[in-house]
Every structure is written in structure tokens, then in C-alpha cells.
Amino acid sequence: MTAATAAAALVRRRPPARVRRKRLLLVVANHAVLIAVAIGFLAPFVFITLTALMTNDQALSSNFWPHPFRLQNFVDVFSKAPLLRWTLNTMLYSCVATLGVVLSSVPVAYALARLRWRGRNLAFIVVLVALMLPPQVTVVPLYVMWAKFHPFGFNFIGTLWPVIIPNWFGDAFSIFLLRQFFLTIPEEYLDAARVDGCGELRILATVVTRLAKPAIAAVALFSFLYTFNDFFLPLLYVGTNPHNWVLSIGLSQFRSFHQVQWNLTMAATLLVMAPVIVLFFLAQRAFVEGVTLTGVKG
């Protein structure tokens, strides 16, 4: 009996050679797959970068390696297309919209998570529905609304304001993410503040925002990215007015703009990708936390 248990323990500690070989094989296969997929995932970046450094003739040849390296491309794109103008428009859209999303979504999320009021559950369901619905469902009447709305003779079509303003009235995704996070804040903190005579607004402004910094950072980050990448809505409202184009629209029209070549197109593509990727490395933790927050608890 004891011999049998001892043998069993021994087996558990050192599996037979056949099993060990099989395990090693699995580990090797696993790594092989991971590395192959990683190469596949990096390859597009590599090709885009290499082409961005080529002369136009090379970009049209079948050589992969730029010879000579042409860094001038990154200067040329600014003279061939109003890249700076597009960047400024994008920053206007992204920054003003992100500020609006954060300022308007935090109070709503707090009310949904922490305050008791009639219709709270209904309001939460409405947020979920708004989260599920494709933006295409509401664009037609919204466009009509902005097209027919001329305060003081100001024409909204052709400007970015119809895309920016709705963000100041809460964004379903941000409200949802923040609410999930606010639910995890222990009630005791809030009660302590209430005992000290804090009103709900002050609790929100001091206690909650401080505790929820990671979630708020994630919301701001996602909102910035979403607006930076947004193509559909700007296309509807400023598509016909090149003066107000954002980067995503400008880039999509880049090739037809001046019959520009692939090397310059890829240089511009890289320049548009760069800020996002830099932002990612600066705020990697907030990213991953944000993504998992939406997924696991959702």
C-alpha cells in the first residue's frame, strides 16, 4: 500500500520519458505557432515601413529592401497634401469630443451605479440598447436635423460640430464601462464622505473620481482612439468640404489627391498609425485594464 503510494508520487514527480517527450513537443509546437502568427502580424507593419522609405520607382518594383533609404518621403507628404490641416482638424474633433465624453459620462454612470431613483433600471437598459445599436440606425434623421438647423445662419453641414456635440451628452459605451467600475467601489467610502457632510456632487468630484482614475483614464483613451479613427460620421458631415477633413478621410483620399505614389501613401499611413502606437506604449496598462474591464465584467 505505502509502496504503491510512493510509486504514484514518484510517477507524479517525474512523468515517464514518453509523456515528457510529448510535453516538450507540445511546448515546441506552441511556440512555433506563436512565432509564426507573430511574424504574420508584424509583416504588414514591416512592409508598410519599408515602402514608406522607398523611392517611387522602387515601390513599383518587386524589391523589398529600400535602396537608397528615402527619408525625404516624410517631408514630401506634408507638401503634397494638407496633412497638417487634417491633423489639426482631427485634434479638434478628438480632444473636444473626449473631454465631453468624460465630463458627461461620469455623472450619468455614477447616478446609474450609486444613486437610487425611479426609472434607474429602465435608464440602464436604454444605455445597453444604445450600446448595441449600429450608428447607421440614427444617422439619417440626425443628418436631416443638422441640415435643417441654421441658428444665426450658421450651416452645420461641412463642419465637425455635428460629430462633436453629441459627445457632450454622454456616450453609451463610456457610461457602461464607468458604471461597471463604480459598482466595485465599496459603499463605505461613500458613506464616510456622506457622514462628513459631503453632497453627492462633491462625493463624485472628490472621492469617486479619485478612486476611479484607471477607469476614467481608460474611457478617455478609448474615446480618443474612437474619434481619432472615426471615419463614417466625419465622412457624412465634412466629406464634401476638404477644408475640414480629418486624417482618416484625408488618408482615404490620399491616393487620388495628386495621383500620389505608393511610397508617399505608405509614409502618410505610417504617420497616421504612429500617434496611436506611441500612445499605446505610453499607456499600455490603462489599455489592457480597460479592455479586460469591458470584457470580463460585461
Partner 1 sequence: MSPWLIGFSVFFGYPLVMSAYLSFNHYDLLSPPRWVGLANYRYMFHTDPQFWTSVKNTVIWMVGIAVPLQVVFAFGVATAVARIKSGAGFFRTIYYLPALAPPVAATLGFVYILNPATGPVNTILGHLGISGPLWFQDPHWSKPSLIMLSLWGIGNTMVIFLAAVLDVPQHLYESAELDGAGPFQRLRWVTLPTISPVILFAVVLGVIQGLQYFTQAYVAAGVAAGQASQAADVTSVSLGYPLDSTLFYPVLLYEHGFSDFQMGYAAALAMLLLAVSFAVTLVIVLNSRRWVHQAVTR
Contacts (CB under 8 A) with partner 1, residues 200-229: 225, 228-229
**Dist CA 230 CA 252 (whole Å):** 12
Q: How many residues bind partner 1 (CB under 8 A)?
A: 84
Considering the rule CB under 8 A, would residue 137 count as an interface residue with partner 1?
Answer: yes
**CB of 86 or CB of 190, closer to partner 1:** 86
**CB within 8 A of 34, min separation 6: which ones?**
none
Show contacts with partner 1 in window 95-124 (CB under 8 A): 104, 107-108, 111, 117
Q: How far is the CB of 298 from partner 1 (least distance, A)?
A: 6
Query: Is there a cis peptide before residue 68, judged by omega within 30 degrees of 0?
Result: yes
Footprint on residues 180-199 left by partner 1 (CB under 8 A): none
Q: Which of 72, 276, 282, 285 binds partner 1 (CB under 8 A)?
A: 276
CB 157 within 8 A of CB 179: no
Kindly tell me which of 158 and 239 has the beta carbon lying closer to partner 1.
Answer: 239
CB of 72 to partner 1, least distance (A): 19
- Told to check if 288 binds partner 1 by CB under 8 A, we report yes
Q: Which of residues 8-37 bind partner 1 (CB under 8 A)?
A: 26-27, 30-31, 33-34, 37
Annotate each residue in 65-94 with x if it binds partner 1 (CB under 8 A) or - if it does not, as one string.
------------------------------
Q: Which stretch, 66-74, 78-86, 207-215, 255-263, contacts partner 1 (CB under 8 A)?
A: 255-263
In angstroms, the CA 279 to CA 286 distance is 11
What is the closest distance, in whole angstroms, from the C-beta atom of residue 68 to partner 1 in the complex?
19
Round to the nearest angstrom and report the end-to-end CA distance of the chain: 51
In the chain, the amino acid numbered 215 is A
Of 66-74, 80-88, 205-213, 259-267, the window that binds partner 1 (rule: CB under 8 A) is 259-267
Q: Which residues neighbour 98 within 8 Å (Cβ) at sequence distance 6 or greater?
A: 167, 220, 223, 224, 227
Q: How far is CA 90 from CA 50, 98, 99, in A?
A: 26, 12, 14
Helix pair angle (17-52, 262-282), 10° resolution? 130
